[in-house]
Structure formats: C-alpha cells, structure tokens
C-alpha cells in the first residue's frame, strides 16, 4: 500500500508576517522571555539593532507548512495518518525580525515505503528572498484503527 498519493517533488508554501504579538504570545507560552525577543532597548545595543524572533517560533511555522502539506496531499480520507517524527538539521541562517514576512517552502525529497516515511526539505525565506532557516522534516504514515463506532452499544 503506498503512502497516499505523495510523490517526490510535491510541495507547499505558506506565508506569515511576524507580528510583535507573536513574540510576546510565544514568550508567554514557552516562558522564554530572553531580552533578544522582548527587550527593544537591550537589542538596540546589539549587532541586530532590534528584537529577533524565537527560533522555535520559526520551527512552529515549519510545522504549519507540514500541516498544510498533509491537508493538500492526504486530505481527510487518507488510508494512513501522518505523525511527525521530528525535524533534523535545523539551522537558523539569518535573524527574523518583527514585520518580516516569512515564506516556508516544504518539499518532499524522499519516500520510504517500507518504513512508511516521507522526508521533506524545508526552506524559510524572508520578504527579500533571503533564506533565514532550513530543516528536514520526517513524517510517519500510520495505519488508522478500524472504525470502532459500530461496536458501541
């Protein structure tokens, strides 16, 4: 049984403009209140001259691209269900600033039918077309359980 109808080269893109509220909400959720992300005055004295987004927030945008990929290529009628096995080779190449519009490209580069896995290359670019982050993402496609609703009394 093949992994839905996915082929090498299948691709999605998602875009998001990073808002100041994104940094504060993410800091609140994670507890990461590093001055790099929340203290404008502190960062004015740095090489960057302004606050930078959390790297883990950028990884969250990568996750959004993965979900968009699954929705586009597997839909809700997939014979197998995708589960993220994780992100490898994550690199933050350039800073992400408030107001940057990020585009996450998610492209399938490998299929492993025997292990029921897909591997995608992820490249995140800003509005100037500069790469700001890269990673690989692995999805495992698991068999759904049989429909148990008919056995409910």
Q: Is 117 inside a domain boundary?
A: yes
In a domain, 131, yes or no: yes
Alpha-carbon distance 81 to 52, whole Å? 35
pLDDT one-digit tens code per residue, 42-72: 999 999 999 999 999 999 999 999 999 998 8
Question: Which range of residues forms the domain containing residue 28?
Answer: 11-142
Q: Is residue 2 part of a domain?
A: no
Phi, psi torsion values for 107, nearest 5 degrees = -130, 130
The whole-angstrom separation of Cα 98 and Cα 82 is 32
pLDDT tens figures, 70-127: 988 876 555 778 899 999 999 999 999 999 999 999 999 999 989 999 999 999 999 9
Angle between helices 20-30 and 55-73 (to 10 degrees): 100
Q: Tell me whether residue 124 is in a domain.
A: yes
Beta-carbon contacts of 127 under 8 Å, excluding residues fewer than 6 positions away, are 100, 101
CATH code of residue 89? 3.10.129.10
Q: Total domain count for the chain?
A: 1
Per the domain annotation, does 136 fall within a domain?
yes
**Residue 148: inside a domain:** no
Instruction: Look at residue 13 and give its three-state secondary structure.
Output: strand
């Amino acid at each position: 049984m093949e992994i839905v109808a996915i082929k090498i080269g299948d691709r999605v893109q998602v875009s998001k403009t990073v808002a100041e509220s994104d940094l504060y909400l993410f800091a609140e959720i994670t507890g990461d209140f590093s001055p790099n992300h929340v203290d404008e005055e502190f960062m004015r004295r740095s090489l960057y001259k302004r606050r930078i987004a959390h790297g883990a927030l950028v990884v969250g945008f990568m996750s959004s691209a993965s979900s968009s990929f699954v929705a586009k290529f597997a839909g809700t009628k997939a014979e197998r269900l995708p589960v993220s096995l994780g992100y490898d080779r994550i690199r933050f190449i350039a800073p992400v600033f408030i107001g940057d519009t990020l585009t996450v490209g998610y492209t399938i580069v490998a299929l492993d039918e025997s292990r029921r896995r897909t591997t995608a290359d992820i490249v995140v670019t800003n509005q100037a077309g500069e790469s700001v982050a890269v990673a690989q993402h692995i999805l495992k496609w698991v068999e759904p359980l049989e429909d148990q609703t008919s056995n409910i009394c």
